[in-house]
Structure 1
Amino acid sequence: MSTFELKTHQIGRTYSNPHFFILNKGLNSGKPLSNPCPNYFVVIISTEELKNTLFHLSMMLQIGGFYAYYLKGSVIPFISVNDCRNTLKSGSKFIENSGFEIQKSIEIVAGINKKQ
C-alpha cells in the first residue's frame, strides 16, 4: 500500500492532494472527517482510491477502539500524531496482508457511510 503523510492540521491551510482529517482530542479521537476542523490531523494521500480506503479504515479503527488505547490526558484525552500514524500504518499493513476480505468490509462500511 502506498504511503501517506499525517500531520497536525493548521486552520486556514488548504491541500491540493487528496486528503481527509482525523480527530485528535476527546473520546472520539480517531474519527475521520472530510471537512477541516480544529483539533484534527490531516492525512495527505497520493490517490483518491487510497484516500477512500484509508478513510474507511480509520473509521473502522475508531469504532473498534484501536485509537482509544493510546488516549492520554485526564481532563481532555488526546492521541499523539505518532500513535495515530502507527495505528493507521498497522491497519494498512493488515489490509495488504489479508487482501480481499478486508477490502470487502471497507466497501460495506463505505456503503453504510453513504446512506447515513
Structure 2
Amino acid sequence: MGSIFSKNLDNPSIPACNRAFSFIFFPFFFSLLKMNVRSEASKYLMAHCMKTFRIKTHRLNLNYSEPHFFILNKGLNSGKPLNEPCPNCFVCITTNQSDKDFMYWLCFGLWKSKSFHYYLKGSVIPFITIGDIKKHLRDSENIASKHPQLFHQSIHHLKLLEINEEKLKLSLKMIDTAKKAIFYKLMNKTGAA
C-alpha cells in the first residue's frame, strides 16, 4: 500500500516556489468553497429553521418597506420591542411577517425575563450594544427553533397575558377617572371649585 510519506529520505524537498503557491492558493480556494458551497442540510436548516433578520441602528425619518419592529437600546428597559420608533432604538428587519412575529415575541420574552440586563453597559444611563443584542437574539433564536412547539405555546400564553394586562390598565384608568369625576362633582356642588 502507498504511504503519504516518501520512502526515500534522499528525495529533495519541495521547491520554495511550490510551497509558496500552496500556502497562498489553498486557503483562498477553501475560503471560496466555504462561501459558495453549502450542504443540502445547511440549506434546509437556513430555509426552515433559522429566521433571517438584520439589526441596524434606527435613523430618524427613515421608513422601512420590509416587516420590522424596533428595540429600545438605552435605559433599564433596553431590549424592549416596540412597534413605534424612538430616538434610542435599533430596528430589526425581517424578510416576512411570520419571522417578524417570531422575533418580536422572542425579544419580548427575553426583555420580560430581564435577559438583556446581563449585557447592559454604562453607569449613569445603561445601554446595550448592537453586537450584544445581535448575538443574544441569534443564540436565543437557535434555542427557540429547536423547540418550536414549546416556544409557540409560551408565546400564546404571553399574548394572552398582554391582552389581560391591557384590559386591567384600562380598568384602572377608568376607575381613576371616575374618582376624579366624583370629587369634581362634589367640589362643584359645594362651590369650592
The question of a shared fold, defined as TM-score above 0.5 by the shorter chain, is answered with: yes
RMSD: 1.1
For 1:34 and 1:80, the matched residues in 2 are separated by 20
Deviation at residue 106 of structure 1 after TM alignment: 1.2
Q: Secondary structure at the match of 1:30?
A: coil
Identity within the alignment, %: 42
Is residue 2:73 matched to residue 1:24?
yes
Q: Deviations over 1:33-52 (max 9, x none)?
A: 00111100000001111111
How many pairs does the alignment contain? 116
For 2:163 and 2:87, the matched residues in 1 are separated by 24
Give the number of the structure whose residues are more often helix, by fraction. 2
TM-score normalised to structure 1 length: 0.94
Q: Deviations over 1:3-34 (max 9, x none)?
A: 10001001100000000000000001000000
Amino acid of the residue matched to residue 93 of structure 1?
A: N
- Counterpart of 1:105 in structure 2 is 154
- Counterpart of 2:175 in structure 1 is none
Deviation at residue 108 of structure 1 after TM alignment: 1.9
For 2:153 and 2:120, the matched residues in 1 are separated by 29
TM-score normalised to structure 2 length: 0.58
- Counterpart of 1:66 in structure 2 is 115
Q: Secondary structure at the match of 1:37?
A: coil
Structure 2 residue ranges without an equivalent (≥5): 1-49, 167-193
Higher RCO, Cα 8 Å, sep 6+: 1
- Counterpart of 1:93 in structure 2 is 142
Structure 1 residue ranges without an equivalent (≥5): none
